[in-house]
Each structure stands twice: as structure tokens, then as C-alpha cells.
């Protein structure tokens, strides 16, 4: 006797070839299984005819117009919800960074005054394998203050020298 599960899978073509042959042989000695299989075939035929009739009667004249309208509505909803989601996730961070940047610029502009890289080179001396420079830089924040920089650069000795 064929099980209901095997019969359904046999009818749907879901069994391996070996299993399908086994169910087929078992059906030869199972009149109830044969009757059930015939009912499945009748049901498939009836559903196929009903589906075909419904498809022939359906009106698809404005289908694409309705589909495009629904796509536009969904895109609008998606765009709105994507922006809302982004704003919910990152809005506070972006706002905080913007405020910090503005505050930093205001503080820098109020305390810094004009910035200058101007310097006065006092002297430059060169010798074998060395270069030295002495320069002064005026401090714009404190009038009359200068910083003296002494810069010494040594170069590698020539290959023949120890």
C-alpha cells in the first residue's frame, strides 16, 4: 500500500526515478491508491480549466499604468523612510559635529589673530658635511616677543672619507 505522502510526491513528480518506479509498482496492487491518483488528476484538470477561463476573462488593459503608479508610490515611501532612518541613526552625530566645528572656528578666530610664517634669517653657515641656520620668528600673539631657532643639518660624509 502506497502512503499518502509518497502518492502526492509521485503525482507532483518529486520522487527520484528509483522511488517513482517503486511507487508505480506498488500502485499496481493498490486500488485505493489508484483511485486517489485519479482524483488528483481530475482536480488538476479542473483547476487548469478554471485558471485558463479566468485568464481569458481578465482585463489587462490598464495593468502597466497601475503597476507604474504603485512603483512611484512605493519609491516615495521608501525614499522618505530611508531619509528618516538615516536621520534617526546619524542626525544627532552630524548635528553634534556641526556644532563642534562652528564652536571650534569661533574660538580659533577670536583667539588667534593673524597668523604669519615670516622669519628673519640671522645667519647661515656651511662647512664640511654640515649646514647651520639661525633665525628669529616674531610671535604675533605677544608684541615684541621673538623665538630664536637654531637649525643644524649634518650630511653624510663622502664615501672615501672615514
11-23 mean pLDDT: 92
Selected residue with higher pLDDT from 133 and 160? 133
Residue 40 within any structural domain of the chain: yes
CB 133 within 8 A of CB 151: yes
Domain count of the chain?
3
Residue 13 within any structural domain of the chain: yes
CA–CA distance, 24 with 30 (Å, rounded to integer): 10
Same domain, 89 and 128: no
Q: Which domain holds residue 48?
A: 4-57
Q: What is the pLDDT of residues 30-88, one digit of tens each?
A: 999 999 999 999 988 888 888 888 888 888 778 788 888 888 777 666 766 777 777 77
Q: What is the pLDDT of residues 82-114, one digit of tens each?
A: 777 777 777 777 777 777 888 777 777 665 555
pTM of this prediction exceeds 0.75: no
CA–CA distance, 60 with 62 (Å, rounded to integer): 6
Q: How many CB atoms lie within 10 A of CB 2?
A: 21
105-129 mean pLDDT: 68
CB 119 within 8 A of CB 136: yes
User: Which parts of 58-127 fold into alpha helices (H)?
Assistant: 63-112
Same domain, 53 and 63: no
Amino acid at each position: 500500500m502506497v502512503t499518502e505522502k509518497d502518492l502526492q510526491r509521485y503525482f507532483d513528480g518529486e520522487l527520484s526515478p528509483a522511488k517513482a518506479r517503486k511507487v508505480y509498482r506498488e500502485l499496481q496492487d493498490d486500488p485505493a491508491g489508484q483511485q486517489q491518483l485519479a482524483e488528483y488528476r481530475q482536480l488538476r484538470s479542473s483547476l487548469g480549466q478554471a485558471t485558463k477561463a479566468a485568464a481569458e476573462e481578465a482585463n489587462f488593459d490598464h495593468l502597466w499604468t497601475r503597476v507604474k503608479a504603485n512603483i512611484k508610490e512605493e519609491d516615495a515611501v521608501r525614499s522618505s523612510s530611508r531619509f528618516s532612518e538615516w536621520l534617526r541613526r546619524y542626525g544627532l552625530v552630524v548635528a553634534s559635529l556641526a556644532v563642534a566645528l562652528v564652536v571650534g572656528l569661533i574660538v580659533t578666530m577670536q583667539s588667534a589673530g593673524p597668523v604669519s610664517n615670516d622669519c628673519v634669517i640671522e645667519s647661515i653657515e656651511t662647512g664640511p658635511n654640515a649646514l647651520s641656520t639661525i633665525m628669529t620668528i616674531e610671535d604675533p600673539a605677544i608684541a615684541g616677543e621673538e623665538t630664536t631657532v637654531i637649525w643644524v643639518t649634518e650630511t653624510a660624509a663622502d664615501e672615501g672619507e672615514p
